[in-house]
Amino acid sequence: MSVEERPKLIVALDVETLQEAERLVKILYPTVQMFKIGSQLYTACGPQAVQMAGRAGAKVFLDLKFHDIPNTVGNAVLSCTSLSCVVDSLDPGFGKEIKKAVAYPVFMMTIHTVGGQEMMRFAVNAAAERAKELGIIRPKIVGVTVLTSDEQAENTQKKVVAMAISAKQAGLDGVVCSVQEAMAVRQTCGKDFIIVTPGIRPQGLDKGDQKRVATSKAAMEAGSDFLVVGRPIVAAADPLKAAQGFLLG
pLDDT in tens, 1-52: 444 567 899 999 999 999 999 999 999 999 999 999 999 999 999 999 999 9
Structure confidence at residue 148 (pLDDT):
64
Lowest mean pLDDT among 1-15, 63-77, 87-101: 87-101
CB 193 within 8 A of CB 164: yes
pLDDT of residue 1: 44
User: Which residues, 6+ apart, have CB-to-CB distance to 94 below 8 Å?
Assistant: none
The pLDDT value given to residue 54 = 97
The predicted-structure confidence for 214-248, as pLDDT tens digits, reads as follows 788 888 889 999 999 999 999 999 999 999 988 87
At residue 209, does pLDDT exceed 50? no
Query: Average model confidence (pLDDT) for the chain?
Result: 90
pLDDT digits (tens, 9 = 90+) for 155-182: 899 999 999 999 999 999 999 999 999 9
CATH number for position 51: 3.20.20.70
For residues 204-213, average pLDDT: 50
Q: Which residue has the higher pLDDT, 105 or 98?
A: 105
Kindly name the residue from 65, 159, 211, 217 that is annotated as catalytic.
65
Mean pLDDT of 68-82: 98
Residues of the chain with pLDDT > 90, as a percent, come to: 76
CA–CA dist 49, 19 (Å, integer): 10
Collapsing DSSP states into helix, strand and coil, what is residue 174? strand
Scanning 83-223, the segments in alpha helix (DSSP H) are 117-134, 156-170, 179-189, 216-222
The answer to whether residue 154 scores a pLDDT higher than 90 is no
Per the structure, the complete domain to which residue 144 belongs is given by 3-247
Q: How confident is the model at residue 197 (pLDDT cuts 50, 70, 90)?
A: very high
Query: Which phi and psi (to 5°) does residue 173 adopt?
Result: -85, -20
Is 100 noted as a catalytic residue in this protein? no
Dist. CA 83–CA 106, nearest whole Å: 7
Strands 85-90 and 98-103: antiparallel
Counted domains in the chain? 1
Mean pLDDT, range 61-86, rounded to an integer: 98
**Least reliable range by pLDDT among 55-59, 148-152, 238-242:** 148-152
Mean pLDDT score, 84-110 = 82
pLDDT at 94: 55
**Eight-state DSSP code of residue 214:** B
**Burial bucket for residue 110 (CB in 10 Å: 0-12, 13-18, 19+):** buried
pLDDT confidence band for 207 (50 / 70 / 90): very low
